[in-house]
Structure 1
Amino acid sequence: MFYWFMKNLIVAPILLTLFRPWVVGREHVPSKGAVIIASNHLSFIDSIILPIVLDRRISFLAKSDYFTGRGLKGWLTRSFFLAAGQLPIDRSGGKASEAALNTGLQVLAAGEQLGIYPEGTRSPDGRLYRGRTGIARMVLEGRVPVVPVAMIATDEVMPIGSRLPKIRRLGVVFGEPLDFSRYRGLEGDRFILRAVTDEIMHELRKLSNQEYVDVYASSVKERTPSSKR
């Protein structure tokens, strides 16, 4: 009820009025059942815009830091992220990565939509980077389809390092669902996980028209400190 109230009566009307997002291919998103929505990641605002153009609730795995603030500001931030369908997770790696995977699988087991950024982090320069295979594990273990989606011009609305967004139009393009049931039972095969991930990234490249770079975005950020913001 809280999610519905915040999204439909507060968050969505404001953002739809400000950014007037245009949407293509929304009919490709299933009206019911578990599904992974796999998106490119250009801007912080991606996780805010995508939920408001979908009819059903979508959950994203977000940094737990967003939920630990104190005082009024902390409460407002936490409430906003909950309204946008964000789930707090620890991204420190190791056991935390396994816990994040399990959290995602719980969302899918409940028959809901799970939003994932296969690149693992925002693009530092607007290009599309190599996908992490965690998404393939969720696809195969959760036995769910994948709907690729491209966020368009969100990096122009809110570039990395910006505190406030610019008021201009942006777009969301959904592709046809991808079925990986042919790989069922092979989630332990790293070559299969890479093949599934690469196929998803190929579809994202077609939808977004981004230049593809076959390295991880995080490795580029390590070499470019200013892009970490």
Structure 2
Amino acid sequence: MLHRLTRALLVPVSRLAFRPVVEGREHVPPAGPVILAANHLSFLDSFLIPLVAPRPVAFLAKAEYFTRPGPLGRLTGAALLGLGAVAVPRGEHRAAQAALETALGVLREGRAFGIHPEGSRSRDGRLYRGRTGVAWLALASGAPVVPVAVLGTDRVQPVGARLPRPGRVTVRFGAPLHFPAPGGHAARARRAATDRIMTEIGRLSGQPQAGCYNELSAGR
């Protein structure tokens, strides 16, 4: 009920404010577990993808987003909750692994899960190297990975901006990628799968490749 109400409120607003161009929605499986792996240019990305996808999509979100004070903070928390976001604490390796386990639980329930393999927002518009958590999820769950490119959100809500401003955005869903269980070295398989996912995201987005990790994860 909350998800339907949130969409009923936010979808018309997003269409009016951002005039989204959505391509490839047919690539998202209508049922069953699926991972939507997207580039990351703006805080707005994790709101926009669930609003334009053909089915509910859960994203992980920092726990503090749900508890920020003030009207804007409460509105943000309510919108995230209504869109199916899952609160996770920020931290080091142990917290990151716990977050992946939470995401795996979403997939095992047959739901769609969204992830930004870069880890944090790109400040310069380049596409950074993907973290292998996305491949860990795909290999552990058997879920297909749909690459997603989001364009224009960095102009609508740049890093540091509290609120988005009107402007056109584009969301492109690519064909699903399937990754069979690795028969050999698991870490190597995760790296290869992640690189393939990032290549497809880059093909959809047209972003130049940074060739390195985005180390600004604390500023997501």
Shorter-chain TM-score category?
Answer: over 0.9
Q: Give the letter aligned to residue 169 of structure 2.
A: L
Gaps of 5+ in 2: none
- Contact conserved, 1:124 with 1:217, CA < 8 A, in 2? no
Counterpart CA distance in 2 for 1:68 and 1:142 is 31
- Contact conserved, 1:36 with 1:144, CA < 8 A, in 2? yes
State the identity %. Answer: 46
Instruction: Provide closer, same or farther for how the CA distance between residues 140 and 186 of structure 1 changes in structure 2, counting only shifts above 3 A.
Output: farther
Q: CA deviation at 1:75?
A: 3.1
Instruction: Provide closer, same or farther for how the CA distance between residues 80 and 6 of structure 1 changes in structure 2, counting only shifts above 3 A.
Output: same
Counterpart CA distance in 1 for 2:73 and 2:162 is 16
Q: CA deviation at 1:228?
A: 3.9
For 2:68, the equivalent position in structure 1 comes to: 69
Q: Specify the SS of the correspondent of 1:147.
A: strand
Gaps of 5+ in 1: none
Alpha-carbon deviations, 1:156-198, whole Å to 9, x = none? 11111112212111100111000112xx155972111110100
- Contact conserved, 1:20 with 1:170, CA < 8 A, in 2? yes
Q: Give the letter aligned to residue 189 of structure 1.
A: A
- Contact conserved, 2:182 with 2:189, CA < 8 A, in 1? no
Q: CA deviation at 1:94?
A: 2.2
For 2:48, the equivalent position in structure 1 comes to: 49
For 2:171, the equivalent position in structure 1 comes to: 172
For 1:103, the equivalent position in structure 2 comes to: 102
**Which residues in structure 2 correspond to 1:205-216 (within 5 Å)?**
205-216=202-213
Counterpart CA distance in 1 for 2:203 and 2:41 is 16
Q: Specify the SS of the correspondent of 2:74.
A: helix
Counterpart CA distance in 2 for 1:146 and 1:187 is 21
TM-score by length of 1: 0.90
**Which residues in structure 2 correspond to 1:1-229 (within 5 Å)?**
1-7=1-7, 9-70=8-69, 72-181=71-180, 184-185=181-182, 189-218=186-215, 221=216, 228=219
Q: What is the Cα-based RMSD across aligned positions, in Å?
A: 1.8
Alpha-carbon deviations, 1:44-78, whole Å to 9, x = none? 11111111111211000111110123465543222
- Contact conserved, 2:25 with 2:54, CA < 8 A, in 1? no
